[in-house]
Amino acid sequence: MNIQSCHCEARSAEAILFLIASSPAFSGAPRKDKYNLSRVRNDVHGFTFVEVLIAVTIFSILSLAVFSTFSSGMRMWRRVQDTASTQRKVIMEFERFSQDLRMMLNFSDIGFKGEVEKIIFPVLSEGKIAQVTYWLDEGVFTRTVQDYKDILDGGKAAKNKRLLKEVGELKFSFPHKKEGDTEYSWENTWKKGEEPQVYPPLVKINLKINDAEFNKTICLPVS
């Protein structure tokens, strides 16, 4: 080994020692890369109170709008359902009323009597002559049946059946034709023995429940 090669080896060893001494791991300096947790931790910021308050306010407004829309839809749906149910009940009771009138007997002892909110006439019920009354009893459209024998004897009380509730108005009308008139006029009374006819040719019923109004005209076969 000559003096020149020894000098080169010594210089190479010095270079290696310099590189090792200047490296971050050897010198104890912190590493600056994307995996540095301290840097990530320092970059994280929380929400301020004002930001949280604004977010809560916006959420409350949106929730109130959604709830109001849903509540309005439910109220409308219930109203439609209630109206449909009321219409079905009215149609059924009007049909019952029409059948009773068409089954009316020509029985003078009971006869036919009509008022604004009450109508009385005879029918054949369960093989017996009976008096049927349709009337308004404290806001309830009611059907009352009483046997003719019980009326004479003063025995059993009449049977009441409540047909329609929450009735705001009930009105019966009957056509009258006076001497010299060519057309009928509707009036709200028909008194037994005071009319040239025993029974009216037609009976009109008007009934109002809540905001809905129902009416029907029935032709009497015995008139």
Identify whether 127 is part of a domain: yes
Q: Is position 60 within any domain?
A: no
Structural domain containing residue 115: 88-219
**What confidence tens digit (pLDDT) does each residue in 28-76 have?**
555 555 445 555 455 556 778 888 888 889 888 888 888 877 777 777 7
Mean of per-residue pLDDT scores for the chain:
79
Q: Is the pLDDT of residue 110 over 70?
A: yes
The pTM assigned to this predicted structure is 0.62
Is residue 63, in this structure, part of any structural domain at all?
A: no
Greater model confidence, 188 or 3: 188
Report if residue 206 sits inside a domain: yes
Residue 178 is assigned to a structural domain of this protein: yes
The Cα 15–Cα 8 span in angstroms is 11
Compute, in degrees rounded to 10, the torsion defined by CA atoms 66, 68, 71, 73.
-80
What is the per-residue pLDDT across 135-169, written as a single tens digit (0 to 9) for each?
Answer: 999 999 999 999 988 888 876 778 899 999 999 99
Q: Note whether residue 126 is domain-resident.
A: yes
Rg of the Cα atoms in the chain: 48
**Residue 138 DSSP code:** S
Tell me, yes or no, whether 174 lies in a domain. yes
Structural domain count of the chain: 1
User: Which one has a higher pLDDT value, 63 or 5?
Assistant: 63
Q: For residue 51, what pLDDT is reported?
A: 84
The per-residue pLDDT for 115 is: 93
User: Could you write out the DSSP letters of every residue in 59-75?
Assistant: HHHHHHHHHHHHHHHHH
Residue 6 lies in a domain: no
